[in-house]
Structures are given as C-alpha cells and as structure tokens.
Structure 1
Amino acid sequence: MNRRAVRLAGALAIALLGALCLYLYLKAEPYQSVIDHGPSPAAQANPYLAAELFLRGRGLSVSHAESLDALPGIDPRRHTLLLFGDRSNMTPRQVDQTLNWARAGGRLVFVAESLWDERSGQSNDLLLDRVQLHQSLSKDLKEPAPDPADDPYPDLTKLYLEDEDAPAYIGFDTDFHLEDPKNLAQAWANSGRATHMMQLPYGVGTITVVTDAELWKTPDIARYDNAWLLWYLSADTSVTLLFNTVREGLPSLLWRHFPQAIVALSALILLWLWHAGVRHGPVLAPAPGGRRQLREHLRASAGFILRHNGQRTLLQALQQDVLRRARRRHPGFDQLNVAEQWLALSRLTRQPTRAISQALSPVRKQRLSSAEFSRQVAHLQSLRNAL
C-alpha cells in the first residue's frame, strides 16, 4: 500500500469517527437520575436517628444513652426518658431507680414488653407490674367488634385532646392491648378495639406506657401523627433516648461486622490442627547403640557431607589427603612444581603420570555421574593406600 492509499484510509477513518460523534451528540438527551444508596451508617446504627433529628428540629435537647447506668446523672426536673430498649435483664434495683427518678418529677415513657399471666398474677416485665398496668392480646378481648360506620379508621389509634375537634391519628401496633385494673390512668389512646397508650401521674412526674415503639423508628415516624405524638410526650423538656440497655459483647460485634474474616480464620485453625495431628509416616524407633560400628559412622558421615556439601568437597578432601601423605614420604615435596610432584608420586605409587594428573586435577563444578564419581574416588583411594 502506497502513501496515497494510507492517507485516504486515515482520512476516511477520521470522517467516519466524526460522523459517529455528531450522530451521538444529536441523539443524546441529558437526564437526571437519583440513586438510592440506602440508609447511612449512622441511621443503620441508630433506628431512632430520625426521631432524634425531629425533636432537635423542634428545639429540644436530645441525648442518647446506651444503659441505665446514665440515669443517676440525669436531673429528673423538666426531663423526659424514652426507654425504648430491651428490658428483659432489668433488675429490681434498676426498676426502683427508674421509678424514683419519675417520682421526683421526670417524664418516663416505656414500652410494655410482656403479657399479663392470670395464673401467676404477674408478667415478665417488672417495670410494667410495678405501675400496675396489664398487657394482653387484642384478639383475646371479649368486647364485640366495633361498627365500621362508627369508626372509619379502626386500625389507627386516636388521641383526643381538649379544645381540639379532631383526634390525632397514630400508627400503633393493634395486636396488643393495655388494661388499667386500678383506674390509675388519666389519659389514654385507643384504636377501634384496643388501648395502646396510657398515661398516669407518678409522684410529681408522669409515666406513659405504650404497646410498641416501632412507630418512632425510621421510616414509620413520618406516617400519620407519629412524630407529633413523640413531641407531645416530651414537649418543653430535655430528652434522653435509651434503646440499648444490653451492650453487645465483642464476639457478637465481630461476627456482625466481620463474618467472612471469622469463617476464614476458623478454617485456617482447623487446617492447622489437622496438619499438626496427622502423622506423615510411621515413627522409626532408634536403633540400639550396640549395633553401631565405626564403619557405619564413617558411612553416615560421608553420606551427610555428600548430601549437604556435594561431590566436590569429598573429592577435594581425598586429594588433600594424598598430597599430605606425599609430603611425609618425599621431603621437599612442596617446593616442586606440579609436573615434578606428579613424577614423584608416579615413582612412589608406581602409577602412570597420566593417571595421577587425572586424579589430582581440580574438581569440576558440574555434578559427576555416579559411575564417574565412584571411579575417581576409587582411584584416589588407591593412590592414598600406595603412599
């Protein structure tokens, strides 16, 4: 191909590339796309983060505690404690401490965790039993179902306030029902069939019991009047949110964040134990000392040197031994040149000079065959024995 053809091909390729770019430019239409990366790490670690941000947006001071150990440092006056964490390990001492805090003027909001047992006369929720409220399943209530015409939203909880024409609608879980056998509550909120929130005075403070706190987690807090109710229960106070009364241990944290690394480490440990436990061949008992002879020691030493230092070291040792014996037999041997030394050895050993030169020549670096190595060793030994 001549230069003219090359230039034409290059110009054609450039023209085609330009036409393609122009076509793509005319056909391309810009657009915007929103990519949802899911909740942030902070939202994943704190299910009530949206609730905290909402209350701060309403001007309330909100802090977060992970255990009831922080309670003695919280001033109960004009303060709300949102106790939304698991309380299955709550001790009687902690119950007394929490109720004394509320009695001194604090606002306590907590979730009823257990059902009332008629046979034992108690539930597994020590705090709920102390405020003398009972929780049961809504399906176990014996009252007849309400008429849908009377309640258009039977699955929503209604909270009626004074001087308000319409109630606030809240999304509590309707599977549970609160009972007040002692008539202690002063305010409550009901769905079409059950009661899901009760508020009662306690000393100079108040206690509010709810059937669940899921309505204040992300994203349910944005539905109905859920966020408003949280603000209503804690208005004009500082707020401490406690939702993790049982601190996770190091093993559970490692398993939650690094499961693949733990599985890999466990597999490596098992492989190492298997390798250390498997015996590679039978164990040889040591030979009795009585059968060891000098010949065996010499053979073992020579084998060791041959394996670790090679053939060259053994041959050089034999050559040096031959020369050392020649010095003893022929005074002034070291003052002779190499040819004269070989002539002297020929007279002493009655071997031809050619054979002596082959035996005493510098050993080559490359490895000898077994036959050649044995032949040269035998020749050197015969020279040594002749001296």
Structure 2
Amino acid sequence: MTRRTAFALGAVLFLLLGLTAVYVLSQVTPYQKEIKHGPSPEVGADPYLAAESFLKERNISVQRADNVHVLSTLPSQGHTLLLLASRENMTPRQTENVLAWTAKGGHVLVVAESLWDEEEGKSDDLLLDKLGIHQLLTEDLDKDTDAKAEGDEDSEQSEESDEPSDESAAETPVPGEEHSDADLDRYPSLTKLYLENEEAPAYVNFDTDYHLFDAKNQAQAWANSADSTHMLQLNYGDGLVTVLTDTWIWQNDGIADYDNAWLLWYLTQDSKVTLLYRADRDDLLTLLWRNFPEALAALALLIVLVLWANGRRQGPLLAPANLARRQLQEHLRASADFLRRTSGPQSLLQGLQRDIQRQARRRHPGFERLDIATQWQILGRLSRLPSSAISQAMRPLPTQRMSATEFTRQVAHLQTLRNAL
C-alpha cells in the first residue's frame, strides 16, 4: 500500500467517524431530572427543626432543653417555654415547678394530651387539671348539642300549643337584619384567630376532632373552628398559659401550611424561646435497652446461668472418695453391712454355717445325709474342738432380734470352727 492510498483511507475513515458523531449528537436530547433523596438525617431526628429555623430567621433567640430542670436556671420574665414533648411521665412536683415558673411572669405553651373523664372527674394531664382545662371529643359535643336541641324543640312545641299562631308575624323580616354569603363560614374545618385592627382572621389547620373547654371560665383569648375550640389563653399569676389541642401544625411537614408559622411567631414574639423536647429524661436502663438490646439480653442470660450454677440443691455435695482407700476389705465390709441392714444378722450367720457344712462335705463324703448329732461328732473330730463349741456354733439361730454382743460371739464361734476345718 502506497502512502497516498493510506492517506486516502485515513481521510475516509475520519470523515465517517465525524458524520457518525454528528448524527448521534443530533439524536441526543439533553434534559434535567430532579432526584429527591428525602429529608436529611437532621430533619428526620428533629420534627421541629423547621420551626426552630423559622424563629431564628425572625431574630428570636431559641435554645433547646431536654428536661424540666432547666426551669431552675431559666428566668421567667421575657421567656416563652414550649412544652412540645409528651408529659405523661411528669410528676406532680414537676408540674408545680412549671406553674410556679409561669406565675413569676413566664409564658408556657402546652399541648392537651389526655381526654377528660367525666366519671372520674379528672384526666391523665396533671397540668391541665390544675388549670381547669378539659379536652373533649368534638363528636361528644355534637351529641350534647343534638340532645339539647331536641329538648328545646319539645318546649317550643308545648308553648305553641298554648298560644295562637301568627304566621304573618313569623314571616315578617326584622328591619335592619340582613344575611349574606360572606357571613357564612366558608372554611369550617380551619381554626380562625381574630385580631384587633385586622379585617381577616388567621387560619390554622388544627385537628377538629378535639375541643378545649374552659371549666373555670378564666380564658382571656381563644381560637375556634366551626364546631370546637383549639386554643385557649389564660393568665396565671404574672404569666401567661397557652393551651393547644395539638402541635403537629409546627412540625416539619406542617408548619408551611396556612398561617401555622405565623401563629408560632405571634405566640413567641418579643421573647426568648426555650424548646422543651422532653419533659423527662430517659433513665439509664431505657437508654441501654434502646441502644444495646443484644448486650442486655446476653447479660440477662449470663445472670440466669450463674444463678442456676450456684443455686441451692436438694442435698449437700458429697466429696469424691479417694481412690487409694477403695480396698477389697472395704467392699466386703460394706457388702456385709448392707446385708445385715436389709436381711438381718441371721442371714450372715446362716452363710457361715453353710460354708462350714460345705467344707465338712468335702472332707467327709456323705456328711449331709447324717443326723445332726452325728454331724456334730464328725465336726468335733475334724476340727478337734470340744462338743460344747460345736453346739454353740451350729445350733439353730433364734428368730428374734439378736443383740450386737450375741451376734459378735456367734460369729467368733463359727469363724473358729471354719478355721479349724
């Protein structure tokens, strides 16, 4: 291949590559795609992070606390305490401390956590019970309203039966009274907060399933939806208490709705804010179980095994016997003692007598066929013992219990006779 041919092939190849690149680029369309990774770990761990950032942007000093003991160092004047955490484990003493701090000029904002029990005359919320604030279900209010309306209708019907009816008078409109669509509540599910010198109210989306009732009639301000009350403000000493039905309106996913953020600013303006995320701190055992459940389970199992290994048994432990003491004589003595305790001493003596008769049969064939007197004579001749010793050794054994002395004497006679054979 010549140089000119190679150059021509290279040029053609370069041209083809360029045309291919131009075609591919013409077919590619650039676009933008937004990928949402969800909230950051900080947002997931802190449901009120957006509320805290919102207040700081409004130049409001915000600090966090995780225990009501912060009240001992927190001044009351010019401070707002937001109790956003659960207060179900607050003690009566802690409740008194919160109210005492408020009475000195502080502003505390709390959330109603428990429903009022008419039968018991209390709820599980110690703080609201002392303030005389009851949280009820809105549906219970509807039932009470219906029952009252039925009673009013019955009374009106009884009065109409006694008085003559005047249909023309009933249909005559009252002068100066006009009704328009503007007077109707277009947002019955939203809570409306009316302020002086403001034409339109602020709208907040509280949970309409709950209602706050001021039993002592001491509230100075309130905010209602169509059927229920969701915010009450009352003076307590030199301070102020604000009670809400819920605070989810200020969490990260709800603070931007309606006028929720504005309400938070309105309640905390011109003051320093302390966010109390926890009314009581978890004890050590709760923290360990939350973070190290496997370690606690292993520790509990270890404690059970130690108690089982060192537990009290039915009887004392027997030390193992020394192997050097296990001699044949001890086995024989133990076997004889067992036979004496189970079969009686007569069985041992009869065993010796049978052993003597067996030896006599070996030395004198036909010994077993002789009478007793002749047997005793043969035993005396074979053993060279007097007849008195033979009779004491071979006499029949008594059936009654033998004493230890008599048993020892009889054994000695039989051993003497057996040794002599």
**What is the TM-score with the length of structure 2 in the denominator?**
0.56
Distance 1:236 1:10 in 2: 80
Question: Gaps (5+ residues) in structure 2?
Answer: 148-180, 306-322, 325-421
Partner of 1:214: 248
Is the contact made by 2:90 and 2:280 (CA closer than 8 Å) also made in structure 1? no
Question: Are 1:189 and 2:191 counterparts?
Answer: no
Q: What is the aligned counterpart of 1:232 among 266, 269, 274? A: 266
SS in structure 1 opposite 2:135?
A: strand
Relative to 1, partners in 2 of residues 1:26 and 1:139: Cα closer, same or farther, differing over 3 Å? Answer: same
Specify which structure has the bigger relative contact order, considering alpha-carbon pairs within 8 angstroms and separated by 6 or more residues. Answer: 2
Question: Gaps (5+ residues) in structure 1?
Answer: 274-287, 290-387
Q: What is the aligned counterpart of 2:239 among 205, 209, 220? A: 205
Relative to 1, partners in 2 of residues 1:213 and 1:9: Cα closer, same or farther, differing over 3 Å? Answer: farther
Is the contact made by 2:68 and 2:280 (CA closer than 8 Å) also made in structure 1? no
Q: What is the aligned counterpart of 1:158 among 192, 195, 209? A: 192
Distance 2:145 2:199 in 1: 27
Structure 1 residue 69: Cα displacement: 2.0
- Residue type of the alignment partner of 2:202: A
Partner of 2:138: 138
1:110-161 per-position Cα deviation (integer Å, ceiling 9, x unaligned): 000000011111000001101111001011002369xx97211010001111
- Residue type of the alignment partner of 2:109: V
1:122-133 equivalences under 5 Å are 122-133=122-133
Structure 1 residue 67: Cα displacement: 1.6
Q: Count residues in correspondence.
A: 262
Bigger radius of gyration, 1 or 2? 2
Structure 1 residue 244: Cα displacement: 2.4
Partner of 1:109: 109
Partner of 2:151: none
Distance 1:203 1:123 in 2: 23
Partner of 1:68: 68
Is the contact made by 2:79 and 2:106 (CA closer than 8 Å) also made in structure 1? yes
1:164-214 per-position Cα deviation (integer Å, ceiling 9, x unaligned): 111111111111000011101010000000000000001111000000000
- Residue type of the alignment partner of 1:80: T
Structure 1 residue 36: Cα displacement: 1.5
Partner of 1:250: 287
Distance 1:5 1:239 in 2: 85
Structure 1 residue 14: Cα displacement: 6.0
Structure 1 residue 13: Cα displacement: 7.0
Deviates most, 15-24 or 86-95: 15-24
- Residue type of the alignment partner of 2:258: Y
Deviates most, 203-212 or 19-28: 19-28
Partner of 1:367: none
Partner of 1:354: none
Distance 1:42 1:189 in 2: 33
1:1-387 equivalences under 5 Å are 17-141=17-141, 142-143=144-145, 150-247=184-281, 249-251=286-288, 253-254=290-291
SS in structure 1 opposite 2:219?
A: coil
Structure 1 residue 252: Cα displacement: 5.2
SS in structure 1 opposite 2:81?
A: strand
Work out the percentage of aligned pairs sharing the same amino acid.
51
Distance 1:168 1:124 in 2: 31
Relative to 1, partners in 2 of residues 1:12 and 1:86: Cα closer, same or farther, differing over 3 Å? Answer: farther
**What is the TM-score with the length of structure 1 in the denominator?**
0.61
SS in structure 2 opposite 1:233?
A: helix
Relative to 1, partners in 2 of residues 1:23 and 1:167: Cα closer, same or farther, differing over 3 Å? Answer: same
- Residue type of the alignment partner of 1:225: D
